[in-house]
Amino acid sequence: MNETPDPRVDKCLSDGNRVAMAGYPAEHFLWQVEGGVGVVTLNRPERKNPLTFASYAELRDLFHGLRHASDVHVVVVQGAGGNFCSGGDVHEIIGPLLQLKAPELLMFTRMTGELVKNMRHCPQPVIAAVDGVCAGAGAIMAMASDLRLGTARSKTAFLFNRVGLAGCDMGACAMLPRIVGQGRASEWLYTGRSLGGEEAERWGFFNRLSTPEALEEDAMKLARELAAGPTFANGITKTMLHQEWDMGIDAAIESEAQAQALCMLTEDFGRAYRAFVAKSRPVFEGN
Cβ pair 240, 259 in contact under 8 A: yes
CA distances, 250 to each of 142, 247, 254 (Å): 31, 8, 6
DSSP state, residue 93: I
7-227 placed in CATH 3.40.50.261:
no
pLDDT at site 114: 96
pLDDT at site 89: 85
pTM: 0.91
Cβ pair 195, 188 in contact under 8 A: yes
Cβ pair 92, 53 in contact under 8 A: yes
Distance CA 209, CA 206 (A): 7
Distance CA 100, CA 120 (A): 29
* pLDDT tens track for 192-201: 999 999 999 9
Instruction: Supply the angle between the helices 137-144 and 102-121 in degrees, to the nearest 10.
Output: 30
Cβ pair 259, 69 in contact under 8 A: no
CA distances, 28 to each of 13, 17, 59, 62, 148 (Å): 21, 25, 9, 11, 23
Cα angle 91, 44, 133 (rounded to 5 degrees) comes to: 85
DSSP state, residue 31: E
Distance CA 22, CA 179 (A): 31
pLDDT at site 162: 87
Phi, psi angle pair for 19, to nearest 5°: -125, 130
Q: Which residues of the chain have pLDDT under 70?
A: 1-16
